[in-house]
Amino acid sequence: MNLEFISEGPALVIEGEQRLLIVADLHFGIEADLAAHGLHFRSRSAGRLERLMRVIDLADPDALVLLGDIKHSIPSLTRQEYYEMPGILDALRARVPLIVFPGNHDIGIERFVREEELRPRDGALVDGVAYLHGHMNPAPSLFGNLMVIGHHHPLISLRDEVGYAMQAPAYIRADIEPGEHGVPVPPGSPGKTRVLFMPAFNELAGYDIVKILKDPFSPLSRSMNADRAEIILADGTLIGPVSALNLDEDD
Amino acid sequence: MKTTERLDPRVLACIKKRGFTSLSDAQKQAIPLILDGKHIVLIAPTGTGKTESAMFPVFNGLLSLPGGGGFKALYITPLRSLNRDILSRMQWWCAELGLTVGVRHGDTPMGERRKQALSPPDLLITTPETFQALFMGKRLRQHLAHVKYVIVDEIHELAGSKRGAQLAVGLERLHVYAGEFQRIGLSATVGNPEDIAGYLCGARPCSIVQVPVAKQLELSVQYVGDDFRHQTEVLKKHLKCEGSTLIFVNTRVTAEALGHALFSHGDVEVHHGSLSREVRIDAEDRFKKGEIRTLICTSSMELGIDIGRVDHVIQFGSPREVARLVQRVGRAGHQLNTISRGTILATGFDDLLESLVIAKKARANEIERVTPPRHAADVLANQVAAIAVEYGEIERSKIREICERTSLYPDCGTLLDDVCRQMEDHRLIRIDGSRIITTARARRYLAGNLSMIHDERKVPIFDIVSRRTVGTLDESFVVGWVHTGVVFITKGQLWRVLEIADGRLTVEPAKKAIGELPSWEGEQIPVPFPVAQEAGMMRRTRDIAAYHPEPDGLSYAEGFLREMDRNRSLVPTDELITLENTEDGVVCNVCAGHKANEALGRVISILVSARYGTTVGLELDAYRMLLRLPFSIRAADIRDILLSLDPAHMPGILKLALKRTALFKWKLVQIAKKFGAIDPDADYERISIQRLLDFFDNTVVQQEAYRELLSEYMDIDTAAGIVSLVQSGKIRVELGPLSLIGAGGLLSSRDQIPPPTADSAVLATLKRRLSQDDVLLACMNCRDWKSRTVVSRVDDHPQCPKCGARLIAALKPYEEEQYALLKKPKKNAEERATEQRLMKNANIVLSSGKKAIIALSARGVGPENASRILATLTEDDAFYREILKAERTFVQTHRYWA
């Protein structure tokens, strides 16, 4: 298995027997929700789709894995989604086969996705790697493999010597440790389970990593060993453990 | 014919009844012009009967018009408090003359408003914002059709701002209903009366009547030092021997501090914008009645509210601008033909020289210019929305005609198109071919955006350690800039942001930060370039006596300069820039005023940040800039940049520099609100708003943020002029250690200029991580010594304490077992390979020392990788970049993920 980081996404290529391109959290249709919260912008779906097509061209994969939250509105479809989604998915389909793991925002996605594209909400193995959106408990059969998930939109704050802080989307690699509040690790699972949290592809989504680690909001994030979790930037630059961010400046 | 004979006998009778025996100069000049129907700007100091000059002939005209029907005269002032004051003065006249008068502004109750809609008063006193609201109601619009006179009071206060630009368009919207009406502007002294006339009337001819102020001023400057106790003692002495006194201060904090200190003195009150209306009105009334003799106030008392007799005005600290001094001191002797007496109490070296310069300029009547903003796109957006709501549907060319009748939007076709398109993007209007159509949102938008003043929500700052609220920040500032990990300064303390949630900012005290952030509360009044220049000239000529300071001030200033000489410090002047090395970075002493220094400082900062890949912290005032820098960048480097800078490139560089700063993002959010992109009550917590701001790249919103910052916050032309003078040798540049002048002063503006890429932040994080990494040092010579430590504590060339050898392997902690295996007498093939690897490791450390240890502590970097990295012979950042590259390769492999 080999990985490629595509920072223009952020997106990831995992190459085993097949070459898979993985993107998480597209959130098409987010603009309608923003407007409801006082932020009024024209739909940026076209630009987002264009960016995704560029990433596909760059990666030239055998299949595109959509790791959930392809659309945004819950609990029901908005007019924007109803009009935009078929075109978006057709454009993707025309270029590359799709594998879809529905997320918590994907209520009603069945309407737009073909049956053969759809995978279970609690995940499935593809080419020896487990994929799921990450908002619910993973299927028991997935443990012992690398799990690639979305849902958390991790974003990192970095400081330089003068103190300027910048934010950037980032990946988190963490080990799963069975615990009271976390995921039910099935007894007799082989080996350890590693989770790779993908940053969101949607340009507006973002959630500070420090906050994710402090107040985990999903079964998998509650089960990870936060102290040893490692952060990787969208271009594959290793930042290291959260402690390397050294928020307490005592040095 | 005598002026008085041209007035209606009823008006004349009132003038007599009111006790006016003669007309003032201003009145004698202005009244005939107004009676002749001329547009006019009347420029005169406060207290010369400006209001009456305008109103006598207006009353005259109103008496000749048939009663009822609609508003016939609008009297617009910038402040509600001024409205109330004018109302109380007008009520008597109108009652005597049988005219009706009303006031309408934000505080006017619904009942009163309804009454005005049903039976409109002849004279309506209002604010620019409520004037805007008049266009929203159908009945009120009909009343506007009767307007014959518009009086804009304190017009100098409006003309230079976006509020004023909005009013200018508003007047042309009024013109659509009322046709040509007579325009009368009342202004304090300004440097460019003709621009004020153009602002008021557009291309229409406009008369200017100017009553000089200087001969009525008696100014002195007194040095009081920087000790607050001594300052208050001096103040007390003044208060003892003077009658009624206004003490003007520059900040609310100072007002409160002085109020507290003088409280025991009795009969003193504090008056500033943060106090409630009731408290302020009470203070004004008691001062007017003579119950208190002293009022400590901020700019809140600059405008012409009648507060009765003032014998003396004290300006605490430099007034910073000539116009401000004249306006403030003009409050004294608030009666015709009396002398206004004012004293500036100067508190330090800069302050003293600056005060002397400003006093001299005031006596010479050299007042600053007021520059009306041209082509302000957010004002245009606001007015397009207002016009769309007013008409429902309108041709774009009609809007253009309205705007182009003002002097502020000449040839605005393209701008208008851009603005409309942007507004459509934010769903504020619809565009149908050449027509602009209102939307349901537009009316809602207008209700929240009648004013161009940014009435900001304040975000409380909650300190998680002390569990209390320590202050507030402007919401646009928080939204545009602040995120987790950011360090900023407020209330003189450093705070690090932990969380932004539930409408508040959770912070903890930060121990140190090289770069500090501004807090935007109480923005300082900028010192203009000519004032700072002349203060610089005084430092050069040292002819301070020519400015007539009092003996204390003279001996202090001369002593200060002698002290500089004694320390062998060069004195920076208008012809000498000094660059001084300090612990925190480099101080650039440039006597160019705030706006030019803002521009110059930012240009230098972005060049430094680009060249050295580091963020630059910038703090500045009118005479100096502190560039906060890593220690390796020194004054000589800044001089190189200054000398190699092409002045023609500076505006472009500055735009680049601005884009990622706090100031720019703060502006962008404010302007986006005026375009309807962001509601006043928007919920920002759901998304990364800072990335949302990228959506404005290359839009008219971004263009307006640049326009406003480059014209109102900084002065790039002057900054470029200074750089030209440096390069032609007319201004010299010298280096030196920190001087008294360099160390002095309160740096009033702060920002950070980040480098073009995230590189420096990533490198800083990598360095921190590697230096904190655990490392196991193991002797490969005696093979009997190992020690676990962290990389930062390792010597440059570690040595085995047992055998003295320098053949030390730097291992990762989990490699400890492998070292243990070396003691086995008989090794298998795999163990021999391990032994070889450890030897190679130690050999690298032997030849490259600490640098090898750093490389070896990187992830996925073994002896092979390490020697490849070391073979590049790179140093410093380039060396660390090689490490990043190696780690990036490692992260792509199965080994990292399994």
Two structure tokens written together for B585: 């970075």
In contact, A146 and A139? CB cutoff 8 Å = no
Same domain, B59 and B89: yes
Mark which of B210, B236, B252 sits at the end of a domain. Answer: B210
What sign does the dihedral B814-B819-B820-B825 (CA atoms) show? Answer: positive
Same domain, B273 and B390: no
Higher pLDDT, A168 or B304: A168
In contact, B56 and B11? CB cutoff 8 Å = yes
In a domain, B461, yes or no: no
Mean local confidence (pLDDT), B300-323: 85
In contact, B376 and B383? CB cutoff 8 Å = no
Q: At A209, give phi and psi (nearest 5°).
A: -60, -40
CA separation, residue B193 to residues B40, B370, B543 (Å): 11, 9, 33
CA distance B312 to B243: 7
CA separation, residue B486 to residues B459, B501, B808, B868 (Å): 16, 15, 41, 37
CA distance B357 to B546: 10
Q: Which of A37, A165, A246 shows the shortest C-beta gap to B486?
A: A165
Could you read off the pLDDT tens digit of each residue along chain A, which spans 251 residues? 899 999 999 999 999 999 999 999 999 999 998 998 899 999 999 999 999 999 999 999 999 999 999 999 888 888 889 999 999 999 999 999 999 999 999 998 999 999 999 999 999 999 999 999 999 999 999 999 999 999 999 998 887 665 666 788 999 999 998 776 778 888 777 778 999 999 999 998 888 898 888 889 999 999 999 989 999 999 999 999 887 776 444 43
Q: Please give, rounded to a whole number of angstroms, the shortest distance from the CA of A115 to a CA of chain B.
A: 31
In a domain, B205, yes or no: yes
Two structure tokens written together for A91: 């454009």
pLDDT score for B334 = 54
Q: At B145, give phi and psi (nearest 5°).
A: -60, -20
Same domain, B752 and B604: yes
In a domain, B619, yes or no: yes
Mark which of B334, B363, B392 sits at the end of a domain. Answer: B363
- Residue-averaged pLDDT of chain B: 88
Question: Position of tokens 């009945």?
Answer: B139
pLDDT score for B516 = 40
Q: Is the pLDDT of residue B517 over 50?
A: no
Same domain, B221 and B262: yes
Q: Does A236 touch chain B (CB under 8 A)?
A: yes
In which band, very low, low, confident or very high, does the pLDDT at B762 lie, cut at 50, 70 and 90?
A: confident
Higher pLDDT, B202 or B690: B202
Q: How many CB pairs under 8 A join A and B?
A: 187
Q: Please give, rounded to a whole number of angstroms, the shortest distance from the CA of B574 to a CA of chain A.
A: 31
Q: Are strands B585-589 and B487-490 parallel, antiparallel or unpaired?
A: unpaired
A3 chain-B contacts, CB cut-off 8 A = 891-893, 897
Q: What is the CATH number of the domain that holds B148?
A: 3.40.50.300
Note the ipTM here: 0.87
In contact, A85 and A71? CB cutoff 8 Å = yes
Q: Does B793 touch chain A (CB under 8 A)?
A: no
B683 chain-A contacts, CB cut-off 8 A = 37-38
Residues 508-547 in B contacting A (C-alpha not used; CB under 8 Å): 510-516
Q: What is the CATH number of the domain that holds B404?
A: 1.10.10.10
pLDDT score for A250 = 41
In a domain, B350, yes or no: yes
Same domain, B689 and B701: yes
In a domain, B438, yes or no: yes
Q: Does B762 touch chain A (CB under 8 A)?
A: yes
Q: Does B895 touch chain A (CB under 8 A)?
A: no
CA distance B781 to B772: 27
Same domain, B172 and B236: no
Mark which of B194, B210, B226 sits at the end of a domain. Answer: B210
Structural domain boundaries enclosing B442: 377-448
CA distance B223 to B355: 10
Same domain, B549 and B657: yes
In a domain, B460, yes or no: no
In which band, very low, low, confident or very high, does the pLDDT at B299 lie, cut at 50, 70 and 90?
A: confident
Instruction: Output the furthest CA–CA distance in chain B (Å, rounded).
Output: 127
Higher pLDDT, B755 or A178: A178
In contact, B44 and B93? CB cutoff 8 Å = no
In a domain, B462, yes or no: no
Same domain, B421 and B359: no
Residue closest to B361 by CA, chosen among B125, B135, B537? B537
In contact, B582 and B742? CB cutoff 8 Å = yes
Q: Please give, rounded to a whole number of angstroms, the shortest distance from the CA of A167 to a CA of chain B.
A: 8
pLDDT score for B322 = 95
Same domain, B79 and B115: yes
Interface touch B690/A204, C-beta < 8 Å: no
CA A169, A166, A146: angle at the middle one, nearest 5? Answer: 25
In contact, B101 and B122? CB cutoff 8 Å = yes
Q: Does A125 touch chain B (CB under 8 A)?
A: no
* H helix intervals, chain A: 30-36, 45-59, 79-93, 209-214, 219-223
CA distance B523 to B515: 19
Question: Position of tokens 């790249």?
Answer: B697
pLDDT score for B327 = 87
In a domain, B370, yes or no: no
Q: Which of A158, A162, A232 shows the shortest C-beta gap to B616?
A: A162
CA distance B836 to A137: 47
Residue closest to A168 by CA, chosen among B614, B759, B769? B759
Q: Does A8 touch chain B (CB under 8 A)?
A: no
If one counts the domains in chain B, the total is 5
Q: What is the DSSP letter of A242?
A: G
Same domain, B18 and B121: yes
Same domain, B680 and B536: yes
Bridge partner residues of B246 (DSSP): B295, B313
CA separation, residue B573 to residues B256, B540, B542, B563 (Å): 35, 6, 10, 16
Sheet holding B774-779, edge to edge: B786-790, B774-779, B808-811
Q: Is the pLDDT of residue B336 over 90?
A: no
Q: Does A180 touch chain B (CB under 8 A)?
A: no
Same domain, B273 and B399: no
Interface touch A247/B496, C-beta < 8 Å: yes
B892 chain-A contacts, CB cut-off 8 A = 2-5, 236
In contact, B883 and B891? CB cutoff 8 Å = no
CA separation, residue B772 to residues A171, A243, B13, B800, B814 (Å): 22, 9, 89, 22, 16
pLDDT score for B524 = 66
Q: What are the contacts of B398-404 at 24+ separation with CB within 8 A? A: B399/B436, B402/B169, B402/B172, B402/B173, B402/B175, B402/B176, B403/B169, B403/B172
Q: Is the pLDDT of residue B748 over 60?
A: no
In contact, A132 and A101? CB cutoff 8 Å = yes
